[in-house]
Chains A and B, each alone.
Chain A
């Protein structure tokens, strides 16, 4: 079965520092991977996706994600964190059943 894991419930980082939110996946075949962000009292918003091609994917709000096949990882990164990046982040993998499976989410807190 296709699945993703987000090993950290919470990530804390100081404003201006680089941030990483981790995601590992387990799939049979080629993975289609996604990151979403959820701000308080809002729905999830699509950030970026990896389907094929370059291992470094660029997305919205300055975020990027690095696909690593050997480590089965798809970590979300940003070179310089902003306080406004504080939110709940979800990794997801598309299954060939037509739906995505989401991770449990990681709460990112950026402190000024």
Chain B
């Protein structure tokens, strides 16, 4: 099992550009989570899905952020337009069920200049 796969590992983009982060969860995991980590705010839950359906997106900071899960093996987090304050490490995690614990990907380090 390759674990949770995120791409790209690093992304540097200019303010105003669209950014798309990608995640492939572990096969058979029904839950998928998107987190953002910064020094100032720590680890923040942005959105999570159950069986490809968004359950809670209350952590999505603004309308500039959107997430989709078109099938059980793929999810995207899109920022349009990007701003410097979006600079952070974005993690994807999956879990078969909440009480099983999460498996995190290696993250995408986003820098918006």
Contact = CB atoms under 8 A, between A and B. Distances in A.
28 contacts: A32-B98, A36-B101, A36-B104, A42-B107, A43-B91, A43-B93, A43-B104, A44-B43, A44-B91, A44-B93, A44-B102, A45-B104, A49-B99, A49-B100, A90-B43, A95-B98, A98-B31, A98-B50, A98-B55, A98-B98, A99-B33, A99-B45, A99-B48, A99-B56, A99-B98, A100-B98, A102-B45, A105-B43
Interface centre among A42, A46, A49, A100 (most CB of B within 10 A): A100
B101 A46 contact: yes
B103 A46 contact: yes
> In which size bucket is the chain A interface?
20 to 34
A28 to B, nearest CB: 16
Contacts, number: 54
Given A95-B98, A99-B56, A104-B42, 7 more contacts: A32-B99, A42-B107, A43-B93, A45-B104, A99-B98, A102-B42, A102-B43
Nearest to A95: B98
B73 interface: no
A44 B101 CA distance: 11
Contacts of B56: 97, 99
B76 interface: no
B105 interface: yes
Given A42-B106, A44-B104, A104-B42, A94 B91 contact: no
Nearest to A98: B98
A85 B4 CA distance: 23
A51 interface: yes
Contacts of A90: 43
